[in-house]
Structure 1
Amino acid sequence: IDQAAEMVFYHDLEGHIIEANQAVIKSLGYSKEELQTMNIMDIDPSAREREDMSHRWKVIKPGDPAITFEAVHRKKDGSIYPVEVTISKVVLPEGEFILGLARDIRERKQAEEKLKVSEMRFRLLAEVAPVGIVIADKDDNVVFVSKKFTEIFGYTIDDIPTIEDWYRCAYPNEPVRDRIRTIWSAAVEEARRTQAEIEPVEYAVVCKDGGIRQIEFRMAATTDLQFVLFTDITERKRIQEALELAVNSAQVGLWEQDLRTGKIIRNEEWAKMLGYDLSEVAANIDFFFDAIHPDDLPRVKETIAAHESGQTDFLQVEQRMRTKNGAWKWILNMGRVVERDINGKPVRAAGVHLDITEHKQTEEQIRIDEERLESLLRINQHPAESIQELLDFALNEAIDLTGSKIGYIYFYDEERKEFTLNSWSRDVMKECSVANPQRVYQLEKTGVWGEAVRQRRPIMVNDFEAKNPLKKGTPKGHVQLHKFLTIPVFSDSKIVAVVGVANKETDYNDSDIRQLNLMMDAVWKIVQRKQAEDALKTNFSLLKLAGETAKFGGWSIDLTENRVVWSDEVAAIHEMPAGHSPTISEVFRYYVPKWQAKILKAFNRCVEEGIAYDEEVEIITAKGKRLWVRTTGEALIDDSGKIVKIQGSFQDITERKQMEANLKASEEQLRQTQKMEALGQLASGIAHDFNNILSIILGHASLLKMSQRTPEKVQHSIATIEKAGQRGADLVKQLLTLARKNEPETKSLNLGDIIADTVKLLQETFPKTITFQTDIESDLPLVMADASQIHQVLMNLSLNARDAMPKGGTLSFNASREAGQELRQRHPNAIAREYVKLCISDSGVGMDKATVERVFEPFYTTKEQGRGTGLGLATVHGIIRNHNGFVEVESEPAAGTTFRIYLPVPVTQETLDATTAENGAATPTSASGSETILLIEDEESIIEMLTTIFRTQGYQVIVAMDGHTGVEKYKQSQNDIDLVISDMGLPRLTGEEVFYRIRRINPEARVIIASGFVDPDRKSELYKAGLTRFVQKPYFPMDILKVVREILDESPEASKENS
């Protein structure tokens, strides 16, 4: 007993456990000792809920039948499980005891529960099933009738308690009933024997209301039960009959199959639908199956098998079939089993084929079009923060639309022929293991995916593994490609991107190309719109920031409404509140009076003629502040050509004007410092040269006083004096060229002439121990430059060279051409096609590398204190840079130094010709005249010379020896005076004061001022006030006669323009 599999125990009549076997101990988890201290109710809590067990234990008699009941046992861990307990009373020497056997019935209980659930599920399914269900036992008693059965026939289980009652109700005609009973009984026996479902059969059934319905029967049987399913096919039969009628008048393919032999009969239309003659079509099922698309074949076979086995009432399947020429057509195959044998097994089936290719294509196109439109709607509504994010989202939509797995978008630059990656699909990035994947590709290095650009059309590859000469392979770790489609994206006629998708389950086709093209064209318009919106936002923000920072705004005047609009920045410049809208007259009152006429004239020309303007003028703000502003204006024209609005910009340039003035003053001060330094270094040479000149003049003047001089010797002395005077004048002119304080004046220059002038001055002033060499290339092109500044450059370099040769040496000047292409190798900013190269070389002490590297730094000098400012070479560098040129230096200790200067040659000669024409002067054919000239001069020798010259040529001359007298004589004879020639440095009134007073007397008076030097700013103001001409002293008689004749021959207006 102790080793028995079942739990065995016994206890006294009070329930105290006396003994338990190993099965009890193992099942409950208590030790035997623990159990012997327990009551049976401790392990059977359900005992307390039943009747008093202790009473039962006492009334049972030994030898009574055992009592069996279900209970639960509680294990030591607290868990409980069901048991079946059998007890009886036994008598032992110690007394009467209860002997019990307990069996664990957990598995039985679980099985019972599953059965209950299964039965419940069956009933639920039976109640909602679309077919009627009847279950009968082995004695043909009906045990279950579903709700649908009653709905179909009207009979309840009370009407047909047995199968025989069913026969009687459903088939009131006795011969028919007998025949069906025989067939059905045999089918039931066969089903029970084989445990298989019988083939579906169709019968007409009489319903409870007397109506007749066409029913398909299916049945399965077990040893004890038979299950019958009733499908109402009345409506389907009606439709089939109507379809058969329609087939007779429609072009449909007909087929009929003997299901026993597989032989198929088809009509001509069936064959014609696939491009065959009927004689070419094999009369078997294999021909049909061979023509079906491999992807559709399993589904078609499954559908046919389901119908033939009775699972469906009707065969209907859409399938792709291969035509004779290899194309695919969509065919709707409809049919049914039309005959079954006595066992209900299908014998014959018939149906039709309908060509639905166009319908499917239209249907698919509509579906894809709808998907594309939905995708575009999602893309358009996607809250993308950037173009990158928008295109990432669009790429995933394109992948979904084409049924692909992966994809990419590359931007393309047609000019650079370069692809730049924008987006790879997420799946690609998951699978890609390429180390350092490339993001930029050149077109020439791309494989088949670059063909979309090279051929400018979509490229479709449905077998990517196949060999293709256009493929160039993929890097290690690249996602494997099976099928591939890429398209170019156009903006106008320009390719701006390429989009690719890959690894569609089926082949890509023209529909995929069309959908992808339409989608990406629309996406690109969305991208362009977003780019424009982003740019507009950015530009607006930048414009506002720039306007606030640069004090720059805009304005407009609507001429139809006379309405003025100022931007906030314009209002701020005028020190008016934002949003202020002034009247037109108020706008012009802000301008300083002296500028009002100029700005009104420009505005009116814009209004009347549409001529834009750009002026820098002064305004006085609402709070009285005086500002320099730059204002522009342009006309807007409507469709009829009428000017309707003037708009423009307005900028406070006061700070710029002040900075320009300060910079100008600083630059001029630097240049003047350098000029004065150079003049200082030349002083001793200049003094020596002037003394020589004066010695020549004085010596020959003394010779002229000697009475014994012959006419030939007199003329020789006069010629020598003139030559010495010319030499002195040239020296003064060169010094003035170097020292003059004037505005930079860019004009065409022959650098060979500049070099010659410089060398001439240096030869007069440098020690005789220094020799000069020049090598000027013939036909050297002209350059656009300021002569004074180039003189200064050559002088600074020459003075440095002189100091580097204290014991004498050679100073060389060379000028030649240099190709811009060659110069660009050293100076990438050299954009001119050709340059003139000036080389200034000395044979002096040279410089080491450290000195060369710092030679152009301001204030850097190697000379002892007091012998240089350190600004000479810095000035040279600045001047050449301002001329868009370059400076190079080459030097070694004890090997001399060479400076190379490169100045750009204008692209065409027209610039130089125009400049030369402006600077040139026409030479009159005759210098004589009869007009009256007022000469105001305090030097008697000059008065004598000029009066003699003018009167010799026929002119009338009125002389005044101071400024005041000159003005008075002009008042007296202004109607007779045709021209005034005045010196600048006069007693009583200066030449400048004389000019202004004469112009007040006669605003049309023509006045020449002569002087050795006039400040450029003063000269400019005089010209603006109407000065006719400025003449540089000293001058020669023929020069002054030419100028006088030239002015007198011009009209007053022409004289103003030439000034």
Structure 2
Amino acid sequence: MGLLFWLFDSIVDYLFFYNDNFSNLLILDVPTHEIYVRSSFLLIMLILGVLSSKMIYEHNLTLQENETRFRKAVENFPFSIALIDQNDDPVYFNKKFTETFGYTHEDIPTMEKWWELAYPDEEYRKEVYSSWMDSCSSVIRGEKLCRSEWKVSCKDGSVKDIEFHFTKTDGDQGMLIFNDVTSKKEAENALFLDESRLEALLELNNMIDSNIREITFFALEEAVKLTRSKIGYIGFLSEDESIITMHSWSRNAMQTCEIKDRPIEYRVADTGIWGEPIRQRKPIIINDFSADHPLKKGYPEGHVSISSHLGVPVFDNDNIVVIAGVGNKEGDYDSSDVRQITLLMKGMWNIVKKKRDDDKFREYAEELARKNKELESLDIMKNEFLSNLTHELKTPLISIKGYAELLHEGQLGSLNNSQSKGVSNIVMSAEKLHKRIDSLLCMQNVQSGNIQYDIDVIHVSDVLEKVLYETKLFQGDSLPEIKRDFPASLPFMLGNLNYIEMVFSHLLENAVKFTPVTGSIKVSAYPENGCLHVTFKDTGIGIPKERIPDLFRRFYQVDGSMTRKYGGNGVGLYLCKSIVEGHGGTISLESEPDIGTQVDVILPVMKPTDTY
């Protein structure tokens, strides 16, 4: 710039100011002031040139630093980025791109190669390419950014869900941003499957009135749907896990299978690959059913063709109870499919198990009701039989007892000692039998609720004396020692004399029956808190503590062998309790084996205001 000014100034001086030689004005004979002017301008131009060069250098350096920072940011960007030129061919891939897809720029030098590698399926490639061209058109029309979502095949063979963002940069270049949403899609799909499974379980829980076959068929169809399979089956295992009973086939399997007489039961030991979940006790996935396998046994003609299979055992505690299988999924079975079918079938089994239990309980309840009805009929028959029997026995017994007493008293002639002793035994036996019959009649009245108490004023001391006398009379010398501990002036009570005597007689008879002759029995009676407390205490064989609560049940005896050894019909304590409570009293029993038994009877005494 300075040299041009020097030349320009020399020409001006030559033409307008000096007639000297041009070469002198240019170089050889330049006037002094011109030298100053030209030198100053040259210096200014030099300074300006240096400053301009420095500014340009610094600007270029800044651009280089910005580009470096940009490339570093792009290289470390969390999304995959590709830059493409005006021909749509890739010129740059960042590090995340290679990490995501496995491809480098050497693998994909052109966009054509990208289509070939990323979309090996031709039909899908056409679909994606058409969408890509539409996206490019929208960007060309002025939209700054377009978005699409496609599946991409990676270098390692995996397929990922990728979200694409495309925009034009300066010039004719473009930028592609790839966001890997595979995990997001898997999470969304897992959530969708979980929701679908929960809906299926809710529907199963609502199938209250459905039978087990309807429940299992519904669960199987849902399992096929959740795993995106084509066929499925459910089988129940025997308790020893040796036999599979096929229970349900999916609708598609039933329509496709051409085997007419399908077996229902299979021995686990004879099954092929589909029995492996039972033998290995874990889910088994076979995504290539055509591959060789040592356990494959093939399938019969007409069987559904199988390309893949997933078998899952269902456990109840440690036992396998169900095997569920699905097959012919378009893709590969994975752990998500195992999880869905396992949880669904576990829920189904819990419902089936409850259904079975409910059915068994219903059958049991119906059977129990039928048995109870039969027992009620038998009970009525028994009561009628006992009632008729006791009346039929009592009628001739009265005659026997009456004539025996007449003979014993000598009203029908004198008897020698042997005859008198024999007649005495007849009288005592008839009296015992009479009491047994009265007990049975009393029991019938108690049970039917028809018992009526004719109220008398009872002097308990007299009743106890009579019971003690008759016991000694009937038992003779084979009695344990009986101690009497009650005053003659006990308070009166209101009640039925015959029934109260029956209670005391039964209690004393039991004490005598279970006490050896070397033992002792103590009969006590005394007033206590406005009541009369009567106690029968013996040193007999005693009763186990756990049997005491059952003693007052009708026809209950501690040990059946005791009936044979000691006699009795098991109604004594039952009657005693009924009669005592009917008189407003209580009865209780305490006992220890080999030590003895104590029975306490508490009855209300007669009050001055009582009437009868």
The TM-score with structure 2 as length reference comes to 0.49
- Which structure dedicates a bigger proportion of its chain to strand? 1
TM-score (norm 1): 0.29
Q: Which has the larger radius of gyration?
A: 1
Which structure would you say has the larger RCO, counting Cα contacts within 8 Å and 6 or more residues apart? 2
